[in-house]
Amino acid sequence: MPLETHAFGTLADGREARLIELHNGNGMSVGVTDLGASLVSVRVPDRRGGRPDVTLGFDGAYGYQDNPWCFGTTVGRCANRIAGATFELAGTTYRLAANEGANNLHSGPHAYGERLWKVIEAKGSSVSLNLLSRPGDQGFPGALDVTVTYALDEGDRLRISYEALPSEATIVNLTCHAYWNLNGQASGSVLAHGLTIAADAYTPTDGQGIPTGEVAGLGKTPHDFRTGKQVGADIWRVPNGYDVNFVLRDGEAHESAATLVGERSGIAMDVTTSAPGLQLFVPGGLDCRGKDGARYQAFDAVALETQFFPDAIHHKGFPQPVFTPEHPFRSWTEFAFRTVG
């Protein structure tokens, strides 16, 4: 089916943001904006004949220009946390912005999600967007040429692919920061959603969300989603909500990472990825206005961020997100939708 492109709003500097809509023949549609290469909407048929929008976000560009929750954005150059907002690479120390206490989160200010990307290809049900990150951008070494492709197929699968070519050795850890509510983005709590995660271990953290370096078994922790349970089954044991990295069972073997099921809509989402880790984020502090005037509140969404482990650069036993001109970054994540029940 042909692509649709619409105006999405004017930025503070006068440039115009665009919304690109992808469609398939089954009634599924996906909205992507060139502002932040952000995922704006995902409409999926449910078991009752509806077509709810299952990802949180905003109605126009104004929301994505001030988006502290990173709704739907492409996060980079390095997603998640870097301890002390500093790291060493090839004998040189690099200092980043400390934007979460003493640490760096999602690369700091002037995030990729706030920038206008260039649409370099749009055809069928696929769109590719490009960003040139200058040398030294946000404190990271070298330049980075980033391309993100969103592709929707007739099997109700949305694949997000990343390619990033650095000018020299640097850290690259890109992810999609979508927030999912499979009953619909304005339908309230996700605590009754079913969730299964293909992981037998996680990376414990200190009080600031920084990994200790240990890879621990799930045991009787509240993080055990191996056989599936409601998102909120053990939420009383993590009162601020989940924010935990799972060590995926198959690592980078391109196997299933997670399945999320909306208990009212019957929409199931299967997540497959080439990334070694998955960050489960169920925000207990969420409180903001979103699409269609919806009020997003605590536990109204699940983020499933496929990525390298947090603070990996400081833990040599973790898979390392270091890439070079000879070894560029490539990764993909697929969200496949179906109905159950």
Kindly list the catalytic residues.
177, 305
48 is in an annotated binding site: no
The answer to whether 77 and 112 are in contact (CB under 8 A) is yes
Here the tokens at position 112 are: 């990729």
178 is in an annotated binding site: yes
Cβ-proximal residues to 163 (8 Å cutoff; 6+ apart), any chain: 146, 147, 328, 329, 330
Q: Single out the residue of 149, 157, 42, 65 nearest to residue 113, CA to CA.
A: 65
Q: Looking at the chain, how many residues does it have?
A: 341
Cβ-proximal residues to 236 (8 Å cutoff; 6+ apart), any chain: none
Q: Single out the residue of 74, 73, 46, 238 nearest to residue 172, CA to CA.
A: 74
Cβ-proximal residues to 91 (8 Å cutoff; 6+ apart), any chain: none
> What's the CA angle centered on 45, arms 28 and 17, to 5 degrees?
40
The answer to whether 68 and 196 are in contact (CB under 8 A) is no
Stretch (H or E) spanning 77: none
Tell me how crowded residue 275 is: count the other CB atoms within 10 A of its CB. Answer: 26
Q: How far apart are CA 254 and CA 135, in angstroms?
A: 32
Three-state DSSP class for 163? strand
223 is in an annotated binding site: no
Cβ-proximal residues to 39 (8 Å cutoff; 6+ apart), any chain: 30, 31, 32, 55, 57, 72, 150, 160, 176, 178
The answer to whether 19 and 127 are in contact (CB under 8 A) is no
**Residue type present at position 141:** P
Which residues line the annotated binding site for beta-D-galactose? Answer: 80-81, 177-179, 243
